[in-house]
Amino acid sequence: MKVVIIGGVAGGATAAARIRRLDEQAEIVVFERSGFISYANCGLPYYIGGTIEDENDLTLQTPESFWRRFRVKMNVHHEVTAIHPDTKTVTVKNLENGKILTESYDKLVLSPGAKPIKPVFDGIDSDKIFTLRTVEDTFCIKDYINANHPKSAVLAGGGFIGLELAENLRELGMDVTIVQRPKQLMNPFDADMASFIHNEMRKHGIKLALGHTIEGFKERDGGVDVLLKDEQPLHADMVILAIGVAPETTLAKDTGIELGIKGSIVVNDRMETSISDIYAVGDAVQVKHFVTGQDALISLAGPANKQGRIAADNICGGDSHYTGGQGSSVIKIFDMTAAATGINEKTAKSLGIATDKVILSPMSHAGYYPGGKMMTMKVLFEKDTYRLLGAQIIGFDGVDKRIDVLATAIRAGIKAYELTELDLAYAPPYSSAKDPVNMAGYIIENMKNGIVKQWYYEEDETLPRDGSITLLDTRTPMEYSMGHAKGFINIPVDELRERIDELDKSKPVYVICQSGLRSYIASRILVGNGFDAYNFAGGFRFYDAVRNDKALNKKSTLCGMDD
């Protein structure tokens, strides 16, 4: 059997290695257009910033090492220009000498990946404007910085690459501005959770121009003007486009392979395309979202590796199936960690899924053990069925551990209230006896059993301030004096029983505290004394972060952003 693989990196290289492990006699040939067949794509921003110092550390395998270990013929700087399914051959161009060759195959794997979106703007071809996708792109940016010592950069796009680049350029001492059409960074997160990300970026000197549209570029005074719709231009020494990627499927289209959303390659759960004996994996393929069951594009290394393995299994006579992705991801943002899995609330609502949520602010480990840090968790579930839909966590320690537990719970079909039953490891330096994931389950269980009723930030603007309801802050007088929500009176939770006669039992009581715990206790006291009480999801810490972020986004101007 002869297998030809178009494209290396995560999907293609994984498929090649897996095929060899399953079939020692197979002939395996890989064609890669770039000069690198297996590299750490996610590490590229950290090489630019100097965290990864040696460029060789970016290369996971070389053609020579792949041959020594797997006897796979890795051909770099070779571009497949045509596929001929009728003859089971591909036409290949050697990019180093221009020679054209024909290669036959029994099975073909497409792993072309995705390409950076580069809009057709005036001035887009300036040598001061870059994209980041390949190792070669990385070297171009690094060489430009070393040669020209730019003092400022504008990043177009606030996704994973944009934020990682912003951090690394800022660590080099550059003045960095992120411009993005959406009014928040990081689309996997809901706007309320993104407020913590915005705060961390601003704290480290990153300027945010959210809700602004780029319309073009113009070189001026040795740098680049970034032209914005209805705003004055931004000027910088360099610009990096990180506004997203699109499936690289020109070859598949020309071959007549069925395409799906955004021109992606349609595959079944065995990673087979619409043409016999041709498989496809990685960022270029359309998959099913595990939570929604809908077609999706998930451009992450983990799914690409799984798909490469599944395609290899099936090529070698197995019966492996890809059951869908759920977009589990994590990112370092200076000192902070942000992670998500499944779908967010915005997506759930757009799909018409009846959704409920809990928001909590637990400590990363036992409070009595030094060094614990607070995190913010948002867990989404479907009303009535309690099916877990997704989770978002932002904090400093232990975030990755909890998101992985929740990602596993979603995959296993655990009900949201069954998070209470998870037996998770505990020692004071690592967790609490009630792990944050368990805590989320306890809150949901209380909601299910009618023990607690919640109110949410989005209800704040519509809450009547006319005395028809009671607004109660149960923090200490000191905490209250440092900031509180409009119209809330202050009765500390430990004084509530003695002062309960100050409240009107005929009125609903909306309760808030710093993290949600004291207000929950206050709610139980109130309910036990005949009141109708609602506890605020997330606490004043969450409320204040969202409110302040909205205010900053509203008042920030491009001539003095976030001052």
pLDDT in tens, 442-456: 999 999 999 999 999
pLDDT (mean) for 2-16: 93
For 40, phi then psi, to 5°, come to -85, 85
pLDDT (mean) for 146-165: 95
Q: How many CB atoms lie within 10 A of CB 220?
A: 10
pLDDT (mean) for 430-448: 96
Please report the beta strands in 255-400, taking only residues with DSSP state E, as ranges in sequence order. Answer: 265-266, 278-280, 285-288, 295-296, 329-333, 336-342, 355-360, 376-382, 388-395
Q: Per the structure block, which two tokens stand in for 428?
A: 């004071």
Tell me, what's the pLDDT at 563?
Answer: 46
Considering only CA atoms, which of 533, 493, 497 is closest in space to residue 517?
493
Give the C-alpha separation, 311 to 303, whole Å: 12
**Residue 119: which pLDDT band, with cuts at 50, 70 and 90?**
confident
pLDDT in tens, 455-496: 999 999 999 999 999 999 999 999 999 999 999 999 999 999
pLDDT (mean) for 340-360: 97
Tell me, what's the pLDDT at 560?
Answer: 44
Which residues touch 368 (CB under 8 Å, ≥6 apart)?
428
pLDDT in tens, 280-303: 999 999 999 999 999 999 988 899
Tell me, what's the pLDDT at 117?
Answer: 86
- Mode of pairing for the β-strands spanning 2-6 and 470-473: unpaired
Q: Which of 8-17, 258-267, 371-380 has the lowest mean pLDDT?
A: 8-17
pLDDT (mean) for 498-514: 97
Cα Rg of the chain (Å, integer): 27
For 155, phi then psi, to 5°, come to -110, 125
Indicate whether 561 pLDDT > 80.
Answer: no
Indicate whether 59 pLDDT > 80.
Answer: no
530-535 contact pairs (CB < 8 A, 24+): 530/505, 531/503, 531/505, 532/508, 533/453, 533/508, 533/509, 534/453, 534/454, 534/455, 534/508, 534/509, 534/510, 535/452, 535/453, 535/454, 535/455, 535/511
Give the C-alpha separation, 16 to 11, whole Å: 9
Indicate whether 558 pLDDT > 60.
Answer: no
- Cβ proximity of 432 and 442 under 8 Å: no
pLDDT in tens, 231-254: 999 999 999 999 888 999 999 999
- Cβ proximity of 544 and 534 under 8 Å: no
Average pLDDT, the chain: 94
Tell me, what's the pLDDT at 394?
Answer: 98
Indicate whether 99 pLDDT > 60.
Answer: yes
Give the C-alpha separation, 21 to 17, whole Å: 6
Tell me, what's the pLDDT at 305?
Answer: 94
Give the C-alpha separation, 223 to 399, whole Å: 39
Does 42 qualify as catalytic in the annotation? Answer: yes
Give the C-alpha separation, 227 to 236, whole Å: 11
Tell me, what's the pLDDT at 135?
Answer: 84
In DSSP terms, which residues pair with 179 in a beta bridge?
Answer: 156, 209
- Helices 63-70 and 9-22, axial angle in degrees (round to 10): 20
For 508, phi then psi, to 5°, come to -60, 145
Tell me, what's the pLDDT at 61?
Answer: 80
**Residue 314: which pLDDT band, with cuts at 50, 70 and 90?**
very high
129 three-state secondary structure: strand
Q: Where are the alpha helices (DSSP H) in 71-150?
A: 135-148
Residue predicted with more confidence, 56 or 505? 505
Indicate whether 334 pLDDT > 70.
Answer: yes
Cα-based torsion angle of the residue sequence 166, 168, 173, 178 in order, rounded to the nearest 10 degrees: 0
- Cβ proximity of 187 and 541 under 8 Å: no
Which of the residues 42, 140, 316, 513 is marked catalytic?
42
- Cβ proximity of 36 and 77 under 8 Å: no
Please report the beta strands in 77-173, taking only residues with DSSP state E, as ranges in sequence order. Answer: 78-84, 89-94, 100-104, 107-110, 114-116, 129-131, 152-156
Give the C-alpha separation, 131 to 146, whole Å: 17
Give the C-alpha separation, 209 to 235, whole Å: 13
pLDDT (mean) for 71-91: 97
- Cβ proximity of 309 and 273 under 8 Å: no
462-465 contact pairs (CB < 8 A, 24+): 463/487, 463/510
Tell me, what's the pLDDT at 136?
Answer: 87
In the chain, the percentage of residues whose pLDDT exceeds 90 is 87
